[in-house]
A and B are shown apart, each in its own frame.
Chain A
């Protein structure tokens, strides 16, 4: 059983471009979470999704950020018109309905 798979591992974008981060949960996991880790800081919750539903997006910035978890395929975190302050490590985690979350290795976004 492969772990949580995130790609790409590293992503470089120029200011104003779009960033798409992908997350494939572990097999059998129906819950997906996205977290952001800024340099020298802990992880901050962004959004919690189940298949085709956003359950809690209280940690998502109000503009430019969106997330989806379609019926088929990976979860996508999309950042439009990136700015330098978006540079961070973005971690995806997945879990079954009643167990701990397992984390992917993260996508390190650098905005230049």
Chain B
């Protein structure tokens, strides 16, 4: 069975500083990996995905994520945080060739302090 771990419930960062939201995964075979963001009382918005190819994936709103197969990680990063980036971030995994549903991590609340 596949699983995702987001080891930090909460991440605080000052505006303008770089941010990292951590994610590790466990899946059989080569994973499909995703990041979604959820603003209060809203649905999830897709940020980026890794299927194959370059390990560094660029997504929406200046976010990027680095796939590291040896560490089974897919950390989300942004060089310079904005207050408006404050939200709940979810990492998700899907095993290739299987049913298409996503397995989500428990989420990380990002707070960017002005």
Which of B11-19, B65-73, B104-112 contacts its partner?
Answer: B104-112
Partner of A95, one of B42, B100, B104, B107: B100
Contact assessment for A42 and B105 in the assembled complex, using a CB-CB cutoff below 8 Å: yes
Q: Which residues of the partner chain B approach A45 to less than 8 Å between Cβ atoms?
A: 101-103
Which of A13-21, A61-69, A78-86, A101-109 contacts its partner?
Answer: A101-109
A25 to chain B, nearest CB (A): 13
The residue in chain A whose Cβ has the minimal distance to the Cβ of B34 is A100
The residue in chain A whose Cβ has the minimal distance to the Cβ of B48 is A100
A82-102, CB < 8 A from B: 91, 93, 95, 100-102
Contact assessment for A43 and B101 in the assembled complex, using a CB-CB cutoff below 8 Å: no
A90 to chain B, nearest CB (A): 11
Partner of A100, one of B49, B105, B106: B49
Contact assessment for B107 and A42 in the assembled complex, using a CB-CB cutoff below 8 Å: yes
A111 to chain B, nearest CB (A): 18
Q: Which residues of the partner chain A approach B34 to less than 8 Å between Cβ atoms?
A: 100
**Residue B90 at the A interface, CB < 8 A?**
yes
Contact assessment for A103 and B43 in the assembled complex, using a CB-CB cutoff below 8 Å: yes
**Residue A59 at the B interface, CB < 8 A?**
yes
Contact assessment for B101 and A103 in the assembled complex, using a CB-CB cutoff below 8 Å: no
Contact assessment for B101 and A106 in the assembled complex, using a CB-CB cutoff below 8 Å: no
Q: A41-B106, A42-B105, A43-B90 are in contact. Are A103 and B100 (CB under 8 A)?
A: no
User: Once bound together, how far apart are the Cα atoms of A91 and B49, in whole Å?
Assistant: 20
**Residue B113 at the A interface, CB < 8 A?**
no
Contact assessment for A48 and B101 in the assembled complex, using a CB-CB cutoff below 8 Å: yes
12 A-B contacts (beta carbon < 8 Å): A4-B43, A6-B43, A33-B102, A35-B104, A41-B106, A48-B100, A56-B101, A103-B36, A103-B43, A103-B45, A103-B46, A108-B41
10 nearest interchain CB pairs? Answer: A105-B43, A103-B44, A45-B101, A42-B104, A56-B99, A103-B43, A42-B106, A43-B104, A42-B107, A106-B43
